């Protein structure tokens, strides 16, 4: 049974998702909240061209369902790095109040100044648990974020464990650090 216990802690996925397993590993429900922006390049900055309008936005990218998580994460990490961005694996759930609130904040643009330059590769806790578990991404609560290392496996993680729909704010300190590059990329 899937339940969100916001009175006690952040959303706690089903026992299957906790261990990194689900009944439907082939599907992905991540939703692209912001369209992929054009990369701001050093050449464009040097030429005096203004950056692309959404180059500094916090970006959500839907995880592909047609490959294993590790391959997707490695490929997206290289793409983000080539664009001067930092890839973060994001795991949420459609029934999770803090996840919904976080996505709404991202969609509104209110986090762009703080977290612009991050690309969140979005997975669904219920549908992508097997794929994520096989890649070493395990969690007890969502929302969950992880900084992938060069091998695609998690180098650092953070999950929200607090109370109510604002529990997503617990992720901000870690996301700030990853954006600033204070932890291994």
Number of domains in the chain: 1
* pLDDT at 39 > cutoff 80: no
CB atoms within 10 A of CB 97: 17
* pTM metric for this prediction: 0.75
Residue 3 domain-assigned (yes or no): no
Residue 44 domain-assigned (yes or no): no
SS3 breakdown of the chain: % helix, strand, coil, rounded to 5? Answer: 35, 20, 50
* pLDDT at 20 > cutoff 60: no
The parent domain of residue 28 ranges over: 15-37+54-180
Residue 24 domain-assigned (yes or no): yes
Residue 4 domain-assigned (yes or no): no
CB 38 within 8 A of CB 47: no
* pLDDT at 26 > cutoff 70: no
Residue 2 domain-assigned (yes or no): no
What is the model's pLDDT at position 132? Answer: 97
Residue 10 domain-assigned (yes or no): no
Residue 32 domain-assigned (yes or no): yes
Supply the DSSP symbol for 133: H
What is the model's pLDDT at position 45? Answer: 44
User: Who's near 104: CB < 8 A, 6+ residues apart?
Assistant: none
Q: What tokens appear for 77 in the block?
A: 């990490």
Percent of the chain surpassing pLDDT 70: 70
Assign residue 125 the CATH number of its domain: 3.40.30.10
Supply the DSSP symbol for 35: P
Residue 8 domain-assigned (yes or no): no
């Amino acid at each position: 049974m899937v339940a969100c216990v916001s009175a006690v802690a952040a959303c706690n996925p089903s026992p299957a998702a906790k261990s990194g397993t689900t009944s439907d590993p082939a599907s992905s429900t991540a939703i692209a909240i912001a369209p992929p922006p054009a990369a701001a390049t050093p050449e464009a900055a040097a030429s005096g061209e203004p950056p692309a309008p959404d180059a500094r936005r916090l970006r959500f990218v839907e995880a592909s369902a047609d490959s294993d998580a590790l391959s997707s994460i490695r490929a997206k990490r290289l793409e983000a790095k080539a664009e001067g961005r930092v890839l973060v694996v994001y795991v949420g759930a459609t029934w999770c109040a803090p996840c919904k609130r976080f996505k709404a904040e991202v969609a509104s643009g209110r986090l762009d100044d703080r977290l612009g330059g991050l690309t969140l590769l979005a997975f669904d806790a219920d549908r992508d648990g097997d794929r994520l578990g096989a890649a070493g991404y395990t969690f007890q609560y969502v929302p969950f974020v992880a900084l992938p290392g060069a091998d695609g496996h998690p180098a650092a993680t953070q999950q929200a464990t607090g109370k109510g729909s604002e529990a997503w704010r617990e992720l901000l300190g870690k996301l700030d650090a990853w954006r600033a590059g204070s932890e291994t990329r």
